[in-house]
Structure 1
């Protein structure tokens, strides 16, 4: 069977996560008509690109047609997006950020005029995670903090904090 775990199942079907089941079914049916081995006649072997595409499309449909499996897939997909390393514009230390008592956030201004904001809860969560991962970080030689995105542009910074 074809491997679909590393592929975007929505892209396999030419759909998007906001599409309804009916829209995804329509895309699936179009692709099945295009790539089904019976439609291609005797020239299609099990190793051909069309057969592999058909298996890929069918596997994606089996996951996305059911509300429960689609929700599980969407959650795993979102988790993977959140775990990816974001490109960092620079590093900022929590001590260098301004504390805003009214909003209860640490703030650092971006070069675009926007702000990088870190809440007290995020700081506490990051400190706990750093303590849990302390041995791994010292082995890897990396010190991780919190990735914070600008509220105006696409830049992000890594905010380091003392444990």
Structure 2
């Protein structure tokens, strides 16, 4: 699966949840919202514009569930969320050139080993920016990845 782009949506907010919620809590919130916004559950007295808004909300809720219910995509999303927050307020521990990272063509990602034994992971679509700050998947260290030296 390709990494999820954080700039698109706040998937936790869409499910009225938080990153600390368990999979069971997420499932309950998803089911409640899916029933509330499902197109088949809309009454005949609902205005056409409101029905369209409910359909769009249902699609967002479904997308959020698909991302957050899968352990792999949730982990990738959480890492991107954490990196985004670090980029805004945390110092960078190292500056790395993209050429120094290992490229995994099958997964469409670049990786770089952290001194703790963890990995810095960035998706190929994320390297289009001139600079990206990413954090280790194990510790609190962060690096800034530059496309060119």
TM-score normalised by length of structure 1: 0.47
Greater relative contact order, per chain length (Cα 8 Å cut-off, separation 6+): 2
Separation in 2, partners of 1:78, 1:34:
30
Separation in 2, partners of 1:15, 1:63:
13
Give the secondary structure class of the aligned counterpart of 2:41.
Answer: coil
Is the contact made by 2:67 and 2:74 (CA closer than 8 Å) also made in structure 1?
A: yes
Does residue 52 of structure 1 match 2:56? yes
Structure 1: state its 5+ residue gaps.
Answer: 87-117, 130-163
Structure 2: state its 5+ residue gaps.
Answer: 98-149
Relative to structure 1, the CA distance from residue 63 to residue 45 in structure 2 (aligned partners, 3 Å threshold; closer, same or farther) is farther
1:25 is matched with which residue? Answer: 27
What CA RMSD, in Å, does the superposition of the two structures yield over aligned residues?
3.0
Does residue 40 of structure 1 match 2:42? yes
TM-score normalised by length of structure 2: 0.51
Match of 2:72 among 68, 72, 82: 68
2:132 is matched with which residue? Answer: none
Is the contact made by 2:6 and 2:80 (CA closer than 8 Å) also made in structure 1?
A: no
Relative to structure 1, the CA distance from residue 82 to residue 54 in structure 2 (aligned partners, 3 Å threshold; closer, same or farther) is same
Bigger Rg over Cα: 1
1:81 positional shift: 1.1
Is the contact made by 2:6 and 2:81 (CA closer than 8 Å) also made in structure 1?
A: no
- List structure 1 runs of 4+ shifted beyond 4 angstroms: 41-47
